[in-house]
Structure 1
Amino acid sequence: MLKSYFKIAVRNLWKHKVFSLINIAGLALGMACSLLILLWVQDERQVDGFHKNSSRLYSVYLRSFPDGKVDASHATPGLLAEELRKVMPEVELAAGFAWSTNNSFSVKDKILKEDGNAAGPEFFRMFSYPLLAGNAADALKSPESIAISRKMAVAFFGSPEQAIEKTIRYDDRKDFTVTAVFEDLPANASEKFDFLLNWEFMKKENEWLTDWNSNGPNTYLLLRPDANIAQLENKLLHFPDAYNKANKGPRYEMGLQRFDAQYLHSHFENGYLSGGRIEYVHLFSLVAIFILLIACINFMNLTTARSVNRLKEIGVRKAMGAVRWELIRQFVGEAIIVAFLSAILASLIVWIALPAFNGLTGKQIVLPFIHPVFWLMLTVLAIFTGILSGSYPALFLSSFNAIQVLKGTLKSGSGSLWFRKSLVVFQFVLSIILIISTILISRQIQYVQHTNLGFDRENLIYIPLEGDLIAKQDVLKQAAMSSPYISAVSKMMGSPTTLDARTSGVDWEGRNPGSTHYFTHTITGYDFIKTLHLQMLQGRDFSKDFATDSSGYILNEAALKVMDLKDPIGKYITFWGKRGQIIGIVRNFHFQSLHNAIDPLIMRLEPAAQKGFLSAFTGNTFLVRTRPGKTKQALATLEQLYKQLNPKFPFTYKFSDEEYFRLYKSEEVIGRLSVIFAVLAIFISCLGLLGLSIFTAEQKAKEISIRKVMGASAASLFGLLSTDFMILVGIAYLIAAPLAWWAMHQWLQQFAYKTDISWWVFGLSGLLAVLIALGTVSFQAIKAININLIKSLRGE
């Protein structure tokens, strides 16, 4: 019996090649898109899931309440890890973890730049980063210890084993001893580093880490197996109170988050965890379902539309005693056969497309052909798709009355016609939602990339201030300014696009003693305003002509608004206990992602007595403004100067606009994927529409011929064949437009600065949908209009 069903299925596929090809191609594209998205979603969900103790690894976050507002982040005090380890019995191990930096290392004459962090001594006992040499207990035990990756060990010493106990020089100012070599981090690790320095060294380099009111590093905990998470969170909620009594900072609350959940759930709303990359995982999971549904709808439509061609077969089978269940099983089986053929083709499409997909998403996904789980997943997908796409056609075809079929008195009911039309509407609802969403996502990406930041990021170069340049920075500046290719030079702590150092240690005249405010802060050099092309609203820039500027401050508009000072120039503020005058007010400029509102900002000069003191980890940056069209010549000049003044370090630089675009890498990837999947969804929908238009043209062939004989024009015949489809697309648009508006309104809320949802986006999307549908139908309509009248009337 099964063999007979299989033969019938293959015979039907071969007999109707065009429709079979449309069905298989549509399902294959839908399944290929779904497979790609499922592989991406799986990869996203596996990030940080490889640690042996994942269920017990937690990250601490702080919730603060400055002046009635609620703020939260994973930035914590530098002393928190060791304190929690001492006083909380539920905590088995704890480690601080500092932000990533790019530093120079040298062994003899070999110099390399590497990215790394600082971590507490228990870090390797907590996390499952395999050690190739050394042991976890001693890896970061002393201030002179350093753990390096396999890549660094091979580059400097030839092998991990040969690296142990060897000396490596850091930034040409301190020697470290290699105490451990860890395996290069896997692709699914959220933290990326090639070296780890000891936490005590970190604290010596940055004294503010010993202040309970200054936050920055992450704090990671490994809880005991029997720890009660709810009880621990209750104890931690007000834990900071005992350590902040003497400070004027805001009230804090403390919370816990699973470490392996932090990558996907990293955003906070009103002080509580709310979304993050998980929203993109949900979004594309929904897109995968949408595209698969569109492909399945194609199959349903074409199969039910062509049911008239199988009426005799159904009538004979029923007359021979076949029950409805057997017919349902047969037709569902045929759908599953088509689905398996599509799955094979989909696997081939994915295999071909995967390198480009990885390049777009920055992933290292591979098709796991050797793993049985992959084949099981593919089989389940094929069976699910087959059952989903074949269920209604099977129920529909098996419901025909055998006597009416054999007598030829069975008429096509309006129910099946309306169902097919409903499916077309549903297809185009999904497609139009994708079109509108794609346009708005692209508009937002364009907006953030081209919006006025308040400073000029064109022709602006960042050069790390390190090594001998820390002492020779004035010489470098003078030499650079003598070049005809360079218009301005300054420096700052961090970079203009990623300032994130915050403090509440600010006081001013007239401040409400009970109020608490956060201020972002940075250290700058002379000519900072000129170099960034900032707009000075009041006062002036720092100048060597005024000795008192060493204790002066420049504020942005947001900081002035918080302080509510009238005639601020000359007024005094106190920053970390250092009193000084306000010498300037600059117009607000963006120094973080446009996801965030512009924070109050305080700028100050680097203390002369500690020149270069922040370069170790937070990174001083040399800012160079080149003349338009002279960037190449300016870089050649800077490289020559760099090699003369700082020969022990490789010359490296970054472009300001590239660093800014990097802030929106995720959004850019999402935008490109949206375009690709929207185009594919529309293409799949058009395949189904093409199939239906072919079938409609065949059904109306005699009617068209008679109308032509009676003198009907080509335009009227074209309208006859296309009007119904255009009405369906119009209905789909009316349903899709409000749904797309709501979805994109929700997505845009994550940006503090965003594009508007303009009416023309919906008009353009509707026009595109109509044109695409019209273009699809037109091909077959024109072909039908030009049919041979005699053959058509004869039924040939």
Structure 2
Amino acid sequence: MFKLNLKIALRNLWRNKGIAAINIGGLAIALAAFILVTLYFTYETSFDKENPNYENIYVVGITYPEFKTNYVAAPFAEAIRQNFPEVVSAGVIKDSAFELTIKKGKNTLFTKKILQVSYDAAKILNIQPANGLIKPAGETERLTYLSTESMKTLFPNKQDDEPEMVGFGASTSGISGVINGSIKNNLHSNFTFDGVSIGNELGKNDHYNMNDYTIYLQVKPATDVENLEQKITGLYRTELLKDKSEEKSIKEIKGISTFLDPLANQHLKPKAGNDAPYKILIAISVLGVLILVIACINFTNLSIAQAGKRAKEVGIKKVMGAYRFQLTKQFLVEILMQCLVAIILALIIAELALPRFNSLFQVHLSIWDTANGLFWKIPLILVLITFCAGIYPAIVLSGFKPSLVLKGNFSTSKQSYWLRNALLVFQFSMAVIFIIGLFIINSQLKYMRSEDLGFNVNQVVYVKNLTMFNNPAKFGSIDFEPVRQKMLKVPGIKSATVATFIPGGQNGINSYAANGIKANIDFVNVEFDYFETLDIKLKEGRFFSNKFKTDTINSAIVNESAVAKYGIKNPIGKIIRGCDIDYKIVGVIKDFKTQGFENAIQPTIYTIKDPCGSFKTEILLKIEQNKMADVLATLKAQWPEINKLDGEDFRYVFLDELYGKLFKKQEQLESVFFTAAVLTIFIALLGLYAFAKYITNGRLKEIAVRKILGATDVQLLKLINSSFFYLVVVANIVSWPIAYVVTNMWLKTFAYRIDFPVLPFVTTTLITILLTIITVSIQAKKAVNANPVDALKYE
């Protein structure tokens, strides 16, 4: 019996090979997209899961009235560990402030990220050097390890993992140290690095106003985390009151609380961070599922459309004694065969598309990696799509009544008619939503690229510098002015400046008081010509100038948002106090989008002197466009003389490239929506083409009679297109509210966005109608052009 059913299945597929190819091909394309999305979803949601303590690790954060942050004072970690028995261990981590140059002979390594990690944090986060985690001997000892990739750069011929002496900074700096060994850099972790410096304790003697560290806790299983959060908040407020360096009022302290954020949240949706990656992952996952659903609907629709061709077969088998269960099983096996072929094709397509996918999302996924779980997911997917795409057609086909199907009545029943039309409407509705989404995403990105940022990043070069500039000088830093004057002597350099932070990155945050209001706002420590270099617009007052000696002592410039925050009228000459300094406001700049379009412009203060600020290391140069190459070549040649502490290693990045990274996630989403829109409309049109072919073949006699009675080709094409035209119009109308809600929710994630457009809805409707008419007409034209005699010769 099995052999007979297999022959019947193969003959049916071969007899309808065109529609079978469309069915299998559409399903294969959708499955390939779904497999890629599954790989990406698995990768993004499994960061740090290799850690045996994954479920019990939390980040300690602080909630201020204005914002949340994961940066906390280091001594608080030990206070938590000592006071709460449910905390197994507490450790701290600090990111490196800037790139570090390491030299060994002729080999040079530029490290972008050296993590400073306490010994307890290394244990909590499973940071393990190749030769094992060793506890530093004393409080001041640091054990430094480089990633295996960095070790190969610095020691290409090294075979062992013994310690090595290296130089830091310029070759003339005279600073040396020991690399204690190598450590594997797990790219599938929130803690990626070029190297790790492990200390017994970090920041032990810091004050509570030095929030430079991230604290990680490992708690006992089954700990009441909400209760622990409340207790940690109480402890933090107590510690602030005890710490004499924290000049906060009791009222302010009561407005501060702490939170615990699971390690599982850190990659996609940290409480004190941007959850855009999580939203984009969900959007991509939903798109992948919908594409597969559309393909399954396409499969179901075409299977039902061909039901009439199998009606007599079913009727005869039932008359011969076949049970409905046997027939259902037969049709499901036929569908399983098609789905199996589709999955094989899908794996081939996914493998071919994977390099482009990896490049787009900057990941290293592989279909054949056992860690992704595809070896058990593929069979599960096969069973699910066989059931989803095949169960209804199988039940319908096996449920025919012999007395009716032998007359061929099912193909014209209302049940079949309404079901097919509903599925077609659903398919096109999804396609319409994707196309509208693509248009709106494209409009928002076009707006972001063309909108005035309030500053100019073009022709600005960011020099990767290791020297710390502060005036008046702090320990280990020098005055920037002599270096600036040397750079300005290079023909083509319009201006030069240095700051603690650059546009596109995070600013510092500190407490400032003005007009009777005290609040935490952003701060940036700068030097002369900072605003001129970036072409930032002045609203009132003046910029910093060498002509005013007080500018290096207690002058400040604020942005419009800061003026609004404090409600200052006529701000020039008013006082804003921070870091024990009464700053005099000498200028107000217009707001500019330093954090891109997703985040609102923050109230910000700019000062030259700031004892509480960071070191000024970020050098920015404004260079004439036609002299860019010559200037960079000159700087590279003269850098050891211009900036002696930085040495011979001149490195730079164009600021527009750095700022452009803020758009990266949205550009990825645009690419995904474009692919989804193309796939859904392609799959829908494949189904429409096959369905139109089936419907047209069923109306050959009607078309022939109408031609004999004088109907023109245009009238016949209009007749055949009319039913599909109405279906597409209905699909558009149904999808508009959904598309509006979804795209409007996405637009609301931007602080600065376009007005909601109407044109994409009209354009999408015209596109789908036009594609439908073209698709149906191509198929219908064959029937219209056929000789009526061929259709009626047996009548």
TM-score by length of 1: 0.91
Matches within 5 A, 1:533-548: 533-548=535-550
Partner residue in 1 for 2:635? 638
Residues 1:507 and 2:513 are matched in the alignment: yes
Q: Secondary structure at the match of 1:664?
A: helix
Deviations 1:405-448, CA, capped at 9 Å, x for gaps: 33566662111111000000010111111111122222223333
Partner residue in 1 for 2:522? 520
Q: 1:358, CA displacement in angstroms?
A: 0.7
Deviations 1:523-577, CA, capped at 9 Å, x for gaps: 1111112111111111111111111111211111111122222222222222200
- Name the CA distance, whole Å, in 2 between partners of 1:658 and 1:422: 48
How many residue pairs end up in the alignment?
Answer: 772
Partner residue in 1 for 2:473? none
Q: 1:169, CA displacement in angstroms?
A: 2.1
Contact 1:203–1:210 (CA under 8 A) maintained in structure 2: yes
- Name the CA distance, whole Å, in 2 between partners of 1:725 and 1:545: 76
Mark the CA change 1:553 to 1:377 in structure 2 (over 3 Å): closer, same or farther. Answer: same
Contact 2:261–2:270 (CA under 8 A) maintained in structure 1: no
Partner residue in 1 for 2:495? 488
Matches within 5 A, 1:37-116: 37-66=37-66, 71-100=67-96, 101-116=98-113
Q: 1:265, CA displacement in angstroms?
A: 1.9
Partner residue in 2 for 1:282? 282
Deviations 1:665-714, CA, capped at 9 Å, x for gaps: 22221221121122111111111001001111111122222222222222
- Name the CA distance, whole Å, in 2 between partners of 1:378 and 1:770: 36
Partner residue in 1 for 2:431? 431
- Name the CA distance, whole Å, in 2 between partners of 1:349 and 1:115: 37
Matches within 5 A, 1:623-634: 623-634=620-631
Contact 1:555–1:586 (CA under 8 A) maintained in structure 2: yes
Partner residue in 2 for 1:336? 336
Matches within 5 A, 1:466-615: 466-467=466-467, 471=478, 473-504=480-511, 506-508=512-514, 510-512=515-517, 516-550=518-552, 551-606=554-609, 614-615=614-615
Please say which of residues 418-427 and 662-671 is displaced more in the overlay. 662-671
Q: 1:137, CA displacement in angstroms?
A: 2.3
Deviations 1:282-338, CA, capped at 9 Å, x for gaps: 222221221111111111111111112112211110110112222111112211111
Paired amino acid for 2:144: I
Contact 2:139–2:200 (CA under 8 A) maintained in structure 1: no
- Name the CA distance, whole Å, in 1 between partners of 2:159 and 2:747: 48
- Name the CA distance, whole Å, in 1 between partners of 2:329 and 2:576: 81
Q: 1:179, CA displacement in angstroms?
A: 3.4
Q: Secondary structure at the match of 1:517?
A: strand
Contact 1:139–1:145 (CA under 8 A) maintained in structure 2: no
Mark the CA change 1:578 to 1:203 in structure 2 (over 3 Å): closer, same or farther. Answer: farther
Aligned pair partner of 2:262 in 255, 258, 264: 258
- Name the CA distance, whole Å, in 2 between partners of 1:160 and 1:115: 25
Partner residue in 2 for 1:379? 379
- Name the CA distance, whole Å, in 1 between partners of 2:411 and 2:352: 46
Matches within 5 A, 1:629-668: 629-645=626-642, 646=644, 648-668=647-667
Please say which of residues 151-160 and 557-566 is displaced more in the overlay. 151-160
Partner residue in 2 for 1:703? 702
Partner residue in 2 for 1:137? 135
Q: Secondary structure at the match of 2:72?
A: coil
Q: 1:585, CA displacement in angstroms?
A: 0.8
Deviations 1:252-289, CA, capped at 9 Å, x for gaps: 11111211222122256xxxx99553323322222122
Q: 1:461, CA displacement in angstroms?
A: 1.1
Residues 1:177 and 2:181 are matched in the alignment: no
- Identical positions, percent: 27
- Name the CA distance, whole Å, in 2 between partners of 1:794 and 1:758: 56
Please say which of residues 213-222 and 384-393 is displaced more in the overlay. 213-222
Residues 1:781 and 2:774 are matched in the alignment: no
Mark the CA change 1:593 to 1:175 in structure 2 (over 3 Å): closer, same or farther. Answer: farther
Please say which of residues 110-119 and 171-180 is displaced more in the overlay. 171-180
Deviations 1:50-80, CA, capped at 9 Å, x for gaps: 21211221111221225xxxx2232323332
Contact 1:686–1:773 (CA under 8 A) maintained in structure 2: yes
Contact 2:497–2:621 (CA under 8 A) maintained in structure 1: yes
Deviations 1:582-606, CA, capped at 9 Å, x for gaps: 1111111122232211111111114
- Name the CA distance, whole Å, in 2 between partners of 1:332 and 1:395: 9
- The gaps in structure 2 that reach 5 residues or longer are 470-476
Partner residue in 2 for 1:420? 420
- Name the CA distance, whole Å, in 1 between partners of 2:499 and 2:375: 55
Q: 1:633, CA displacement in angstroms?
A: 2.9
Mark the CA change 1:232 to 1:371 in structure 2 (over 3 Å): closer, same or farther. Answer: closer
Contact 2:100–2:168 (CA under 8 A) maintained in structure 1: no
Paired amino acid for 2:257: E
**What is the alpha-carbon root mean square deviation over aligned residues?**
2.7
- Name the CA distance, whole Å, in 1 between partners of 2:468 and 2:407: 98
Partner residue in 1 for 2:121? 123
Contact 2:42–2:372 (CA under 8 A) maintained in structure 1: no
Paired amino acid for 2:520: Y
Partner residue in 2 for 1:17? 17
Contact 1:553–1:584 (CA under 8 A) maintained in structure 2: yes
Mark the CA change 1:160 to 1:186 in structure 2 (over 3 Å): closer, same or farther. Answer: farther
- Name the CA distance, whole Å, in 2 between partners of 1:410 and 1:468: 83
- Name the CA distance, whole Å, in 2 between partners of 1:409 and 1:229: 65
Mark the CA change 1:256 to 1:715 in structure 2 (over 3 Å): closer, same or farther. Answer: same
Partner residue in 2 for 1:312? 312
Matches within 5 A, 1:204-243: 210-225=206-221, 227-243=223-239
Please say which of residues 209-218 and 526-535 is displaced more in the overlay. 209-218
Please say which of residues 380-389 and 231-240 is displaced more in the overlay. 231-240
Please say which of residues 765-774 and 300-309 is displaced more in the overlay. 765-774
Contact 2:119–2:200 (CA under 8 A) maintained in structure 1: no
Contact 1:121–1:139 (CA under 8 A) maintained in structure 2: no
Paired amino acid for 2:335: A
Partner residue in 2 for 1:729? 728
Partner residue in 2 for 1:345? 345
Mark the CA change 1:663 to 1:407 in structure 2 (over 3 Å): closer, same or farther. Answer: closer
- Name the CA distance, whole Å, in 1 between partners of 2:701 and 2:527: 84
Partner residue in 2 for 1:458? 458
Paired amino acid for 1:49: K
- Name the CA distance, whole Å, in 1 between partners of 2:732 and 2:408: 39
Deviations 1:740-786, CA, capped at 9 Å, x for gaps: 11111222222212222211121112222222222222211222222
- Name the CA distance, whole Å, in 1 between partners of 2:773 and 2:641: 67
Contact 1:499–1:520 (CA under 8 A) maintained in structure 2: no
- Name the CA distance, whole Å, in 2 between partners of 1:20 and 1:405: 23
Q: 1:643, CA displacement in angstroms?
A: 4.3
Q: Secondary structure at the match of 1:244?
A: helix
Please say which of residues 752-761 and 478-487 is displaced more in the overlay. 478-487
Paired amino acid for 1:12: N
- Name the CA distance, whole Å, in 2 between partners of 1:289 and 1:357: 17
Please say which of residues 646-655 and 619-628 is displaced more in the overlay. 646-655
- Name the CA distance, whole Å, in 2 between partners of 1:148 and 1:694: 65
- Name the CA distance, whole Å, in 2 between partners of 1:462 and 1:381: 49
- Name the CA distance, whole Å, in 2 between partners of 1:746 and 1:139: 54
Contact 1:153–1:163 (CA under 8 A) maintained in structure 2: no
- The gaps in structure 1 that reach 5 residues or longer are none
Mark the CA change 1:651 to 1:274 in structure 2 (over 3 Å): closer, same or farther. Answer: closer
Q: 1:196, CA displacement in angstroms?
A: 2.5
Paired amino acid for 1:769: T
- Name the CA distance, whole Å, in 1 between partners of 2:372 and 2:538: 65
Partner residue in 1 for 2:765? 766
- Name the CA distance, whole Å, in 2 between partners of 1:240 and 1:511: 26
Q: 1:165, CA displacement in angstroms?
A: 5.6
TM-score by length of 2: 0.91
